[in-house]
Structures are given as structure tokens and as C-alpha cells.
């Protein structure tokens, strides 16, 4: 029983260094050491730490420079952060893996909401996450989409293997995590990458804060659940409208001014160049590689249907948005959006459209060689980049584009011939799959040209791929791995030198 009598006397000087440090924390906090001046100095340096968290965040966002939307998010986050987060707590880490930008936007908004509620946060791409830093954390929030065929987004390629290796089995027993997996149920492996991350976390011994939340095509109910679960996990009140769909940029009214059939007589489906203008052309701006989201009216009700995405094939300097749209044929007629743009909408019709940056397919700033590979309507996304490179006077461009027959499908011939004559493009390889008795595709051209391709990559080249997810993109990936070596292709992915817009 307790008698109140001292049974042991421990001298500070006799303690090991670690114990002395621990013993110093309380008097440091209470200002016992240096009186009032000490307390003021401590308060100022704590405030500076908070400032570093905010300025560090700004530097990170500046480096990303993914356009106006991110700048908007930054402004919002900066305005919410002034409430201050609990000093001394290990910030909650938010890591994202994204291909087309949704996961990053969700993370930015989640961080802003948590900061506003007084929870300190750090944000970074999952690809930049180090194992050592993870070991220091108590809370990790992961937001990750799935790309390709159940695969990680390009920039996150190899991250699971690296972290599993660097951390080791059961290496994160103190970590609690929340996982938001973005996907689309129309794909065979729904949320495949999110599920792989959950498996990784289990293997590392981390504990879930709540069961993984899967989001089908931006489902607002699933996003609201994410906000609710986080509020519960951190015992804070979070704004329930954090991820409200109305928060997305509004659709603008564009006018359909031209559509041209590019492949008359083709054995494939009709491909159109669709041109749209705004009444005030200066009101529109986008970076090469951007996506246009088009919202067609539903034929039965006339109300807006879900938006479809198209790669922008023109530059703001062209004064219009041009899209290359393949007509999709279904049993009962044409696809909703492709049919609207290429057939049902009359010329002059108002089209609901909004432009979105596509960071994973952005044009490289440096004057490095660029190899542009694609098929069919994928020429659209590549053309935006080619036009910008030509405009900037950067001539080390190599196009490898696949279509069916030279006689009907060589729709880019005139433009490419002019660029070749002007020395604005080094090679414009068109590969026609059905002109010869044996089929020939872009991946065959890659294999033939392996040696030149290796040279372009050795010179710092960047590879762009745009077009079919089924068939072309995996076959191109395989051919690149054959001629460059798998390790080089992985390095290209990790170094953001292999950029894809595939669908």
C-alpha cells in the first residue's frame, strides 16, 4: 500500500541521455528553464514551426504547378490554415496516387477541412513517400485511383514493392490508416490499386481507422462517408460539403461551329474533328494535354447526363477547342456523347463543356526529345502537344501513329507533311494495320526502330502515349520494355518521362 514515503531517489545527472531528454520536455513546455523570456522564445519558435508547415506546403504546391484549379485549392487551404493546428502533434500524412487529378483534388480538400478543424496535415504524392518518414507517423490517409487494367496510376508504379521492401513485414504497428479507393465499376478490376494498397498496409501491420471506402466514378455518397469517417476518427467536426459535386468547376456554354468527317470510306467507325468556340474566345485557357469534359443531354429527359472526357487537340492560340471524336455505335444507335457531338447536335448548338488540366499527360517544359505514340482518335491528344512544340520551335519530335488504311485513314497527312517540310518534326511514322496481308501496328514500328528509340531516350527523351487502353497501350508498353529494358521503362515512369492519356 502507499505510505507516501520515498522509496527511491533518481538523480537527473545519473540518467541516460534519452531519459534526460524525456525529463526535459515538461519543464521546457512550462517555461521552467528560462522564465518568461524562455516562454516567449518557445512560443515564437513553435509558431515558426507552424509557419514552416504552411510555407512548406506552398512550396510543394508551387512545384506541382498543375494550373488554376490547384492554385484555387492552395488559396483555400491557406485561408483555412490560419486557425492553427495543435502544436507538437505529428501531422497526419495525406498521400495521393492519381492519373487524371481526382485523387489529388480530394486530398487537397480533405487536408483543408482537417486543417480548418485544427488537425495538422502534410500532403504529398505517394510516389515521393519514404519508408523512414512513414515510421514516424501515427496517421496516414491514402487516396488512390486505379488505372490501366487494375494497375496503379503511372507515377505510383513500383511504390508498393518499394515500401514493402523498405519497411518490412509488420514494420508499421503504430500506424493507423484511412484508405479511399477511386475507381469505376465498368472496369474488370474495380479499385484494384486501392485493394492492393490495403493488402500492403495489412502486411506492414498498420491498423485501419475504418474499412476502405471505394468510390465508383466520383460517387458523392461514398465521398460524404469518407468525410464522416474522418470526423469520427479524429473527433472533429468536418464540413459535410467538403467534397460536394457543386464544388467542381461549372460547365461553360460553348458553341458547336464545325464538324468534319476525317475518314470518309473508312472500314472503321467514323472519326470527326469537332470544333467548339466561346462567344468570348479570350475567356478560355488551357495547357496542352488538357481534357474537355462534355455533358450531353440525355435523349429521353433532356436533362444533363454524366460527362464524357475528350483529349483537346488544339491550343488556346487556335481560338477554339478541337476534339477528335470517334463515333461509338451501339445496338440502338450512337453513343450518348459521341453521337451528340458528331450527329445529333445541330451546328450552332450550345454544348456544356469544361476544361480540365491533365497533369499526368502535361507537356514537358524542357527542350528534350519527345516521342509521341498513339492510335486512332489518340492523335488528338498528341496533336495538341505537337502544335505547342512546333510553336515553341522544338523540333526533336517523333510521331508513331496507327490507323487502318492509308487510303481512308491518313487524316493527318497534310499537317504532318507541312511540319516535316519545315523541319518541325523529325519523323512522322504512320503505321497502317490493314494495308498489307499481315497486320502491322505501332508496337511493331517501335520494335523495328529500337536502336533510334534508345538514343532518343538516352538523350533525355519523354514518351507520350495517347489512344486505346484495350490493345494499343499494353502492346506499346510491352514493346517499349523489350527495346529499352523493363528497368528503364520503370525509371521513365518514376521520373515522369512516360506520360499516358489512354481510354
Ligand X SMILES: Cc1cc2nc3c(=O)[nH]c(=O)nc-3n(C[C@H](O)[C@H](O)[C@H](O)COP(=O)(O)O)c2cc1C
Ligand Y SMILES: Cc1cc2nc3c(=O)[nH]c(=O)nc-3n(C[C@H](O)[C@H](O)[C@H](O)COP(=O)(O)OP(=O)(O)OC[C@H]3O[C@@H](n4cnc5c(N)ncnc54)[C@H](O)[C@@H]3O)c2cc1C
Residue 187, all three cell numbers: 472496369
Of 164 and 328, which has the nearer Cβ to ligand Y?
Answer: 328
Of 172 and 182, which has the nearer Cβ to ligand X?
Answer: 182
Q: What is the Cα–Cα distance from 182 to 193, expressed in whole angstroms? A: 9
DSSP state, residue 304: B
Residue 289 is a binding residue for ligand X (CB under 6 A) = no
Backbone angles phi and psi of 469, in degrees to 5: -70, -40
Nearest to 165 by CA among 130, 124, 126: 130
CA diameter of the chain: 101
Exposed / middle / buried, residue 236 (Cβ in 10 Å: 0-12, 13-18, 19+): middle
Nearest to 88 by CA among 174, 147, 28, 161: 28
- CB 340 → ligand X: shortest distance, Å? 20
Residue 147 is a binding residue for ligand X (CB under 6 A) = yes
Exposed / middle / buried, residue 381 (Cβ in 10 Å: 0-12, 13-18, 19+): buried
Q: From 229-237, 278-286, 324-332, 421-429, give the range in contact with ligand Y by CB under 6 A.
A: 324-332
Q: What is the Cα–Cα distance from 262 to 241, expressed in whole angstroms? A: 44
Instruction: Estimate to the nearest angstrom the gap between the alpha carbon of 440 and the chain centroid.
Output: 32
Residue 409: which of ligand X, ligand Y, none does it interact with, CB under 5 to 8 A by kind?
none
Residue 100 is a binding residue for ligand X (CB under 6 A) = yes
Residue 325 is a binding residue for ligand Y (CB under 6 A) = yes
Backbone angles phi and psi of 145, in degrees to 5: -95, 170
Residue 291: which of ligand Y, ligand X, none does it interact with, CB under 5 to 8 A by kind?
ligand Y
Residue 259 is a binding residue for ligand Y (CB under 6 A) = no
Residue 231: which of ligand X, ligand Y, none does it interact with, CB under 5 to 8 A by kind?
none
Residue 503 is a binding residue for ligand Y (CB under 6 A) = yes
- CB 369 → ligand Y: shortest distance, Å? 24
Ramachandran class of 70: left when φ > 0, alpha when ψ lies in -120 to 50, beta otherwise: alpha
Residue 101: which of ligand Y, ligand X, none does it interact with, CB under 5 to 8 A by kind?
ligand X
Q: Which of 31, 118, 150, 297 binds ligand X (CB under 6 A)?
A: 150
Backbone angles phi and psi of 454, in degrees to 5: -60, -40
Of 174 and 329, which has the nearer Cβ to ligand Y?
Answer: 329
Size of interface with ligand X, in residues (CB under 6 A):
24
Residue 145 is a binding residue for ligand X (CB under 6 A) = yes
Look up cell 488528338; give the residue.
380
Residue 456: which of ligand Y, ligand X, none does it interact with, CB under 5 to 8 A by kind?
none
Instruction: Calculate ∠ Cα 113-115-120, nearest 5°.
Output: 135
Of 150 and 450, which has the nearer Cβ to ligand Y?
Answer: 150
Residue 187 is a binding residue for ligand X (CB under 6 A) = yes
Sign, CA torsion 330/332/336/338:
positive
- CB 78 → ligand X: shortest distance, Å? 23
Residue 66 is a binding residue for ligand X (CB under 6 A) = no
Residue 147: which of ligand Y, ligand X, none does it interact with, CB under 5 to 8 A by kind?
ligand X
Distances (CA, A) of 125 to 97, 109, 306: 6, 15, 28
Of 178 and 307, which has the nearer Cβ to ligand Y?
Answer: 307
Q: Which of 66, 121, 129, 146 binds ligand X (CB under 6 A)?
A: 146
Q: Which of 67, 91, 98, 446 binds ligand X (CB under 6 A)?
A: 98
Nearest to 199 by CA among 225, 230, 167, 160: 160
DSSP state, residue 280: S
Distances (CA, A) of 80 to 44, 139, 233, 492: 21, 21, 20, 37
Q: Which of 194, 289, 316, 335 binds ligand Y (CB under 6 A)?
A: 335
**Sites for ligand Y among residues 271-300 (CB under 6 A):** 291
Residue 87, all three cell numbers: 502544436
Of 323 and 465, which has the nearer Cβ to ligand Y?
Answer: 323
Residue nearest to ligand X (CB): 183
Q: What is the Cα–Cα distance from 145 to 100, expressed in whole angstroms? A: 9
Residue 182 is a binding residue for ligand X (CB under 6 A) = yes
Q: Which of 28, 42, 60, 102 binds ligand X (CB under 6 A)?
A: 102
Q: From 24-32, 80-88, 176-184, 457-465, give the range in contact with ligand X by CB under 6 A.
A: 176-184
Cβ within 8 Å of residue 333, ≥6 positions away: 339
* Helix, strand or coil, per DSSP, at residue 172: coil
Residue 342 is a binding residue for ligand Y (CB under 6 A) = no
Binding site for ligand Y (CB under 6 A): 291, 308-311, 323-326, 328, 330-332, 335-339, 377, 380, 501, 503
Binding site for ligand X (CB under 6 A): 98-103, 145-150, 153, 182-184, 187, 189-192, 469, 502-503
Amino acid at each position: 500500500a502507499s505510505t507516501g514515503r520515498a522509496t527511491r531517489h533518481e538523480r537527473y545527472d545519473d540518467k541516460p541521455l534519452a531519459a534526460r531528454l524525456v525529463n526535459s520536455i515538461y519543464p521546457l513546455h512550462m517555461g521552467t528553464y528560462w522564465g518568461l523570456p524562455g516562454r516567449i522564445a518557445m512560443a515564437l519558435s513553435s509558431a515558426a514551426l507552424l509557419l514552416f508547415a504552411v510555407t512548406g506546403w506552398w512550396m510543394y504546391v508551387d512545384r506541382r504547378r498543375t494550373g488554376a484549379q490547384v492554385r484555387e485549392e492552395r488559396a483555400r487551404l491557406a485561408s483555412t490554415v490560419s486557425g492553427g493546428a495543435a502544436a507538437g502533434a505529428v501531422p497526419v500524412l495525406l498521400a495521393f496516387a492519381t492519373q487524371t487529378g481526382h485523387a489529388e483534388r480530394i486530398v487537397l480538400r480533405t487536408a483543408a477541412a482537417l486543417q480548418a478543424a485544427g488537425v495538422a496535415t502534410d500532403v504529398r504524392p505517394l510516389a515521393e513517400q519514404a519508408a523512414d518518414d512513414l515510421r514516424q507517423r501515427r496517421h496516414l490517409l491514402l487516396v488512390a485511383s486505379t488505372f490501366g487494367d487494375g494497375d496503379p496510376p503511372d507515377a505510383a508504379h513500383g511504390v508498393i514493392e518499394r515500401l514493402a521492401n523498405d519497411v518490412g513485414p509488420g514494420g508499421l504497428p503504430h500506424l493507423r490508416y484511412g484508405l479511399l479507393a477511386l475507381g469505376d465499376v465498368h472496369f474488370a478490376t474495380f479499385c484494384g490499386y486501392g485493394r492492393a494498397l490495403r493488402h500492403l498496409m495489412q502486411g506492414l501491420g498498420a491498423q485501419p481507422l475504418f474499412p476502405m471506402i471505394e468510390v465508383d466514378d466520383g460517387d458523392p455518397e461514398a465521398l460524404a462517408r469518407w468525410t464522416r469517417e474522418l470526423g469520427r476518427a479524429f473527433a472533429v467536426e468536418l464540413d459535410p460539403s467538403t467534397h460536394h459535386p457543386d464544388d467542381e468547376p461549372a460547365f461553360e456554354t460553348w458553341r458547336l461551329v464545325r464538324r468534319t468527317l476525317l475518314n470518309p470510306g473508312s472500314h472503321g467507325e467514323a472519326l470527326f474533328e469537332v470544333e467548339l468556340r466561346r462567344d468570348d474566345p479570350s475567356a478560355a485557357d488551357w495547357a496542352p494535354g488538357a481534357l474537355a469534359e462534355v455533358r450531353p443531354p440525355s435523349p429521353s429527359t433532356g436533362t444533363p447526363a454524366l460527362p464524357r472526357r475528350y483529349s483537346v487537340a488544339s491550343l488556346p492560340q487556335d481560338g477554339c477547342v478541337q476534339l477528335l471524336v470517334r463515333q461509338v455505335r451501339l445496338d440502338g444507335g450512337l453513343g450518348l456523347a459521341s453521337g451528340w457531338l458528331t450527329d445529333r447536335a445541330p451546328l450552332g448548338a450550345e454544348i456544356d463543356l469544361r476544361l480540365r488540366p491533365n497533369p499526368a499527360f502535361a507537356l514537358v517544359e524542357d527542350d528534350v526529345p519527345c516521342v509521341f505514340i498513339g492510335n486512332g482518335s489518340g492523335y488528338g491528344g498528341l496533336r495538341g502537344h505537337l502544335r505547342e512544340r512546333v510553336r515553341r520551335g522544338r523540333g526533336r519530335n517523333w510521331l508513331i501513329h496507327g490507323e487502318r488504311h492509308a487510303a481512308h485513314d491518313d487524316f493527318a497527312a497534310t499537317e504532318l507533311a507541312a511540319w516535316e517540310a519545315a523541319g518541325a518534326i523529325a519523323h512522322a511514322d504512320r503505321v497502317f494495320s490493314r494495308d498489307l496481308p499481315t497486320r502491322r501496328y505501332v508496337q511493331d514500328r517501335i520494335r523495328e526502330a529500337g536502336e533510334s528509340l534508345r538514343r532518343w531516350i538516352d538523350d533525355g527523351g519523354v514518351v507520350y502515349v495517347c489512344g486505346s487502353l484495350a490493345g494499343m497501350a499494353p502492346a506499346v508498353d510491352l514493346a517499349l520494355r523489350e527495346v529499352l529494358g523493363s528497368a528503364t521503362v520503370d525509371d521513365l515512369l518514376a521520373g515522369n518521362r512516360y506520360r499516358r492519356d489512354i481510354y
